[in-house]
Amino acid sequence: MTNYSQQILSNIAKSEFNNQDLMAKAISHDTTEDLISLSDSLLEQGFVDDAKGLLESLQEHHKVNDAGNINLAEIYIDEGDDDAALALIDKISEKSSLYLAAQIDKADLYESEGLLESAEGILLDLQNVSDDPLVRFALTEFYDAEGENGKSAQLYDYLIDQGHERIGDIDLHERLANALASNGEFEESIGEFETVGLKNLSAKENGLLARAYLQVGDEQKAQALLEKNIENEEASLEDYLNLAEALLKEGNIEGQIRSLQLAKNFDPFNIQTRFQLALAQSNAKQYSLSDSELAEIVKKDSSQTQAISLLAYNLLQEKQDDQVLSLLNAHIEDEEIDQHYFWYLGLAYFHLDQQATAEKNFNQVKKYFANEPAFLKDAFFIFKNTDTTQARIFLENYLKLVPDDFEMANYLLS
């Protein structure tokens, strides 16, 4: 008896794709099992439209089984036709060997629609009716997708303890390591990554492991992994930022700035990265370079209060007091401001011999910065010659926080 499904697959293997007549004959004459097998082969080879047409024809001819329903439902899910997919999934009874697969697809569908409690509920219920590891694995993937890495880590650990170190091609030690790292359990994640083997890690996993090494204080191992990603041209923005952090912890300020510059080149539109670069340059007293970055940030987004404050700080260090006043007074009425504005305005007015205005600005934020040593020290000098009582209070509070500053302590004796 002629098997038209096999003829279609044979033609495809020979790059002969005009098989509409054979498809009609297959639907009329081949068994349901052969036709479902044909749809599987078409899907595996990427002929999704052909597989969809075949499966829909089988629905019309009532020549379909649970496997066909699942295949067609998954096509509908990919196309966003959730109602049609759900109708097919609900045809599969609890007695079917494909019931678990159907319910997992249903949970995926609910998750894609944002019905997270319903999706989780399906998977939790499945745990009560089946000890199939695929059920718990589906639940781990749900928790991973929703950022509940602590829950997924527990389930990965359980599956491994039950002897399931792999699900298909997926290494569960690798998944556990990722979940632990994402959940902030860095020491535990390092052990799992090392179980997988460093040579088997992807670039993303190298980055996660590097972050874990950073958190436990092993900057050299972190640096080696991050530089490997960069050398292989597989580095992410986070890799450059983590490398900058590792280099800073080692005291390599130039290296930190260089890495942040690379991060900026990687994503020049990331304002937070550019701010970190400007901050590093400011800390290195590279004020002119920092000013340029900050001016660009403020130009692109005038609501970046940290950038405005840092630019004002830089200008104070450069003794550009008039520019400090111009910058901060232009933003002092913004909807969102940084309290440092008043501090830095006070210093600029003080440097320009506008004592009353300087004191007014310091009084505006003296409660806010009551535990900030640098502010208290500046405030002492602002009030030292005009309000000795207030100045002494600032000095005493400063020395409570910095008791070993003997130079400042001498002012108590004068």
Say how far apart CA 24 and CA 128 lie, in whole Å. Answer: 44
Structure tokens at 319: 């003794």
Q: How far is CA 142 from CA 83, 117, 156, 344, in A?
A: 21, 11, 12, 49
Q: Residues near 394 by Cβ (< 8 Å), separated by ≥ 6?
A: 366, 376, 377, 379, 380, 383
170 - beta bridge partners?
Answer: 167
Average pLDDT over residues 299-320: 96
Q: Residues near 125 by Cβ (< 8 Å), separated by ≥ 6?
A: none
Residue limits of CATH 1.25.40 in the chain: 286-363
Say how far apart CA 267 and CA 238 lie, in whole Å. Answer: 11
Q: pLDDT category, 13, cuts 50, 70, 90?
A: confident
Fold (topology level) of 286-363: 1.25.40
Say whether pTM exceeds 0.85: no
Q: What is the mean pLDDT of the chain?
A: 90
| Per-residue pLDDT at 2 exceeds 80 | no
Say how far apart CA 226 and CA 282 lie, in whole Å. Answer: 25
Average pLDDT over residues 314-328: 97
Number of neighbours of residue 169 by Cβ within 10 angstroms: 5
